[in-house]
Structure 1
Amino acid sequence: MKAAIVQDPHHPPFFGEIDAPQPSAGDIRISVSAAALSHLVRSRASGRHYSTSGRVASVAGVDGVGRRDDGSRVYFVLPKAPNGSMAEKAVVAPAQCIVLPDELDDVTAAAIANPGMSSWAALTERARLKSGETVLVNGATGVSGRLAVQVAKYLGAGKIIATGRNARALQEVSALGADVTIPLVDDGDALERSFKPVFAEGVDVVLDYLWGQSAERLLIAAARAGADAVPIRYVEIGGASGQEITLPGAVLRSSAIELMGSGIGSIPLTRLIKAIEGVLYAAVPGGFKIATRPVPLSDVEQAWLDPTPGGRIVFITHPEASQERSTN
C-alpha cells in the first residue's frame, strides 16, 4: 500500500510502498480517506513527543477518517503500531473508532478532531466548565485556540477572553465569539498590567496553549487580583511559547488557583475519545470554523516542510472520496 513512511526521525516522511497492516482478531481495517498533519503528528513521527517513549512509527499519523469493511464512515485514532494513519489502510481497535455524522465531510472531520478535542476535554474533563463562567484562552489565534473559543462558547461560557500576538488574528477571533481580546507583548510588566483588569473582574477557567512568559504573567496577575477574585482552574494544554516557566511559590500559596494539565496521560484514552466524539457531533450544529488545506498524500514530503499558513493540512489518500457522505 502507499503510505507516508518514516525512515529517519530527523527528516520528513516520504511517499512510498509498504506492506499493508493485517488485522488481528477483533481489530477493524480502515480504508483511509483523510488524515491531518498536526504538532502531535510531527512530534510523534520524530519520537520527541512525551507519549512515544522515543519510539518512532513506520508510518506517520495518529488519526484519520475512512471506511470500515462494512462501508460505515468513521473517524479513528491511534492505529495499531508501528503503522500510523497516513496510508491507504490502517488497523485499529473498535473502541477507537467513532461513526461520523452524515453532515460532516471527511476533510473537516480529520482536521477538527485533534485540535477541537484539546479544548473540549480540558473544559469538560479537567476544568468542569459550568454554564455562564468566564474562560480565558491564552494563545487563541492558532488553530487549537480558535477552536477553543468556539467550543467554550458552545459549551456555555458566559464570557470569553482571548490572547494572541497577531492583532488581525485577534480581530478574527472576536468574530468567532471572543468578548475581550488582549495582545501579547514582549514587555512582561506591561503584559501583566494588561491581565490584571480581567482577573479583577473574575476569570473562572484559563486554557493555556502557550506556557512560557505569558503563563508566568497570567498566574502572577491572577494571584495579585486580590482575595475577592474568583478561584481559577488553570489548565495547561500546550507549550508553543516554551516548555518551562519560573513561578514564585507565593503565587500558589496566596491564591485559589488550581493548576492542572490536559492531554494524553492526564485523561484516560476512553474519555479523550469521548471528547473527540463530542467535537465531531457538535461541529456542524455549532458552526465550528476551521481552515483546511487538502493535499494529496503523494505530496507529503513537500507539505511537511511547507511553512506557509493557510489552514490545517489534511492529506487525502483517495481524493475522489474526500467529500463523501455516509449513507449508513
Structure 2
Amino acid sequence: MKAAVITSFNHPPQYADIAEPVPKHIQEMQVDVLAAGLHHLTRGRASGAHYSSDAVLPFVPGVDGVGRGADGTLRYFVQAPGQPGSMAEKTVIMPEYSLRLPEVCDPIRVAAAMNPAMASWLALRCRTGFLPGQKVLILGATGSSGQMAVQVALYQGAAGIIAAGRNQQKLAALADLGATDTVTLTDPKLGQLASEVDVVLDFIWGENTGKLMMSLLKYRKDRTQQLTWIHVGSMAGEEAPIPGALLRSADVQIIGSGLGAVDAQEILTELPLLVSEIVSGRLFIDVNVVPLSEVSCVWNMVNSSERIVLTP
C-alpha cells in the first residue's frame, strides 16, 4: 500500500510503498483511511522533538484520522501507543480509541478540526474549573488552534474572549467567531485590556511569557483574584522565564494541558461531545485538502490559520 514514510527525523516523509498493517491482537481493527490531519503534534513526533515521540525509523506519521472500519462503520480514531500512523491508505486502530461517526458527516472537516479543537476543549473542561461568565485571554489566536479556542470558549459560556495574535487582518475576522476584543501581541494595551481575565490559553509560551504576565498583573485591580495560565503550545519556544516575584505577588496558577496532563480515559470521555459539535457545523475551521501523494510538498507549509488534511 501507499503511505507517508519517515526515514529521517530531519526530512519530510516520502510517499512510498510499505507493507499493509494487519491486526496483531483481537482488540485491533484495520481501517481504510479517508482523511488524516497534518497537525503540529504530527510534525513534532515525526521530527523526534515532541516529548511524546518514541518512534523508531522508518515509520508512518499521523496521530489521528477518519476511516472506514472493517465492520463497515465510519470512525474518528486516535492512535494508541504502538499503533501505526494514520497517513496511509490503511492503518490499524484500537476500537476503544475511536468514535463512530454518522454517515452524513464530512470526514475532512472532522479530521481537520478534532486535534486543534481538543487543545482548548481539554484545557477548559479538564484542567481548570472554568465557569460560564468568566473571561478568557487567548495568546496565539490567529492559528487554527487559536481560532478553535475562541469558539470553544464561547461554547463554554465565556463572558469575555480577548484574542491576541500577530496578524491584524486575521484578528479582525475572529469577532465573527466570538471574540469580544482583539489585540496584537505587541500592543502595549494588551495588559490593560486583559487585566481582569480568569484564564489564559497560551499557545505561544517562550521568552516573552513572563513579560506578558507582568503586563497583565500590572493593571489587575485585585491580585488575589485567581489567574489560571494554561500552557497549551510552544510556538515561541519551550522555555519561559517566570519572575519569582510574580508568583509571590499574585494568585497565579501556571499549568499545562496536553498528553499526560490529561488522563487518556478523561480525553476519551470528552471526545463524543466535541465530535458532535464539529459534525453539527457549530465549530468552524479552514481546511486545505491535499492528496497524500503530495505529503512531502506540504509537510513544511506554514499557514497557521488553516489545517491541512491529507486524503489517500
Alignment TM-score, normalising by the size of structure 1: 0.89
State the partner residue of 1:305. 300
Q: Distance in 1 between matches of 2:145 and 2:300?
A: 20
Match of 2:230, SS?
strand
Contact kept, 8 Å, 1:41 with 1:61, in 2: the verdict is yes
Change (3 A) 1:241 1:248: same
What is the deviation of 1:242? 1.7
What is the deviation of 1:225? 3.5
What is the deviation of 1:149? 0.2
Stretches of structure 2 that go unaligned for 5 or more consecutive residues are none
State the partner residue of 2:111. 110
The one-letter amino acid paired with 2:217 is A
Q: CA-to-partner distance for each residue in 1:85-106, whole Å, 9 max, x for gaps?
A: 0011111112210112444310
State the partner residue of 1:196. 192
The one-letter amino acid paired with 1:215 is T
Alignment of 1:48-63 (within 5 A): 48-53=49-54, 55-56=56-57, 58-63=59-64
What is the deviation of 1:295? 0.9
Match of 2:194, SS?
helix
State the partner residue of 1:3. 3
Contact kept, 8 Å, 2:288 with 2:306, in 1: the verdict is yes
Q: CA-to-partner distance for each residue in 1:65-100, whole Å, 9 max, x for gaps?
A: 001111110001115636200011111112210112
The one-letter amino acid paired with 1:148 is A
Say which is worse superposed, 121-130 or 301-310, in terms of deviation: 301-310
Contact kept, 8 Å, 2:110 with 2:279, in 1: the verdict is no
State the partner residue of 1:295. 290
Poorly superposed stretches of 4+, deviation over 6 Å: none
Change (3 A) 1:215 1:58: same
Q: Distance in 1 between matches of 2:135 and 2:58?
A: 40
Change (3 A) 1:309 1:134: closer
State the partner residue of 1:179. 180
Q: CA-to-partner distance for each residue in 1:210-253, whole Å, 9 max, x for gaps?
A: 01244222321343344624311111000101211221101011
Q: Distance in 1 between matches of 2:102 and 2:43?
A: 28
What is the deviation of 1:10? 1.0
Stretches of structure 1 that go unaligned for 5 or more consecutive residues are 318-328
Contact kept, 8 Å, 2:142 with 2:171, in 1: the verdict is yes
Match of 1:283, SS?
helix
Alignment match of 1:239 (pick from 230, 234, 237): 234
Match of 1:212, SS?
coil
What is the deviation of 1:56? 4.9
Alignment TM-score, normalising by the size of structure 2: 0.93
Q: Give the alignment's Cα RMSD to 1 decimal.
A: 1.9
Q: Distance in 2 between matches of 1:286 and 1:157?
A: 20
Q: Distance in 2 between matches of 1:13 and 1:92?
A: 21
State the partner residue of 1:323. none
State whether structure 2 residue 224 is matched by structure 1 residue 223: no
State the partner residue of 1:168. 169
Change (3 A) 1:144 1:164: same
What is the deviation of 1:284? 4.2
Q: Distance in 2 between matches of 1:32 and 1:174?
A: 35
Percent identity over the alignment? 39
Contact kept, 8 Å, 1:57 with 1:84, in 2: the verdict is no
Q: Distance in 1 between matches of 2:281 and 2:308?
A: 22
The total of aligned residue pairs comes to 310
